[in-house]
Chain A
Amino acid sequence: EVQLVESGGGLVQPGGSVRLSCAASGFTFSGYWMGWVRQAPGKGLEWVANIKQDGSEKYDVDSVKGRFTISRDNAKNSLYLQMNSLRAEDTAVYYCARSLGYGPGDYFDYWGQGTLVTVSS
């Protein structure tokens, strides 16, 4: 059974940093593009970033460029999102998701339960 379990969310002050983790199991993690999608409270879905199987390609949405960094450790079956210079508008539930298999632009066929990041003083 495919499982994605996020951790690392919480309350952080504006300008602060946090690192999200996603532990994957039930599939060959190194064989898939992976990504992060966020959802602000009561709002819709927004893709944040994704990363190729070997970590050699990474893409992210303009609103997080230069502040967020996606990475992975295939030996640990883990995906990460380092979030720096956080703003109030980054407040959201952050989901780890597995790409279906088409490549850098893809659909997400499995999702974690999400971790809430709240940016507030």
Chain B
Amino acid sequence: EIVLTQSPATLSLSPGERATLSCRASQSISRYLAWYQQKPGQAPRLLIYDASNRATGIPARFSGSGSGTDFTLTISSLEPEDFTVYYCQQRSNWPPEYTFGQGTKLEIK
């Protein structure tokens, strides 16, 4: 089973700053990684898939990079609505599995 480890657990930044969130896989997953944003009381929202593809309607300030075992979600200039929790997720066709990281909370400094 592939384990995803996100770091840091909590990231404290100010609006306008650049955020860099990390997700590390326990073994290579090529580029099969997605990022989700989840606001309190809401369902997750797909931001990035296959490591670097922005999902429909996602602002350009969100970008993803990485391959193999190390991945990064970057938010270029933080807006007030970006302060929430982010999860990474890997996909595997065989065996079919969806593994999520434990989440990173982005909070206002």
Report A's interface with B, CB cutoff 8 A. Answer: 35, 37, 44-47, 50, 59, 61, 95, 100, 102-109, 111-114
Q: Is the CB of B100 within 8 A of A44?
A: yes
Q: Is the CB of A46 within 8 A of B43?
A: no
Q: Is the CB of A45 within 8 A of B100?
A: yes
One of B36, B43, B98 near A105 (C-beta < 8 A): B98
Listed by A's residue number, 28 A-B pairs whose Cβ atoms lie within 8 Å are: A35-B98, A37-B44, A37-B98, A44-B87, A45-B36, A45-B44, A45-B89, A45-B100, A47-B99, A50-B96, A59-B95, A59-B96, A95-B43, A100-B46, A100-B49, A102-B91, A102-B93, A104-B93, A104-B96, A105-B93, A105-B94, A105-B96, A105-B98, A106-B98, A107-B91, A111-B43, A111-B45, A114-B43
Report B's interface with A, CB cutoff 8 A. Answer: 32, 34, 36, 38, 42-46, 49, 55-56, 87, 89, 91-103
Considering residues A103, A107, A109, which has the most beta carbons from chain B within 10 angstroms of its beta carbon? A107
How far is A103 from B98 in the complex, measured between Cα atoms in Å? 12
Sample of 19 further A-B pairs with CB below 8 A, known A45-B87, A103-B96: A44-B87, A44-B100, A45-B36, A45-B38, A45-B44, A45-B100, A50-B96, A59-B96, A61-B97, A95-B43, A104-B93, A104-B94, A105-B32, A105-B91, A105-B92, A107-B49, A107-B91, A108-B98, A109-B49
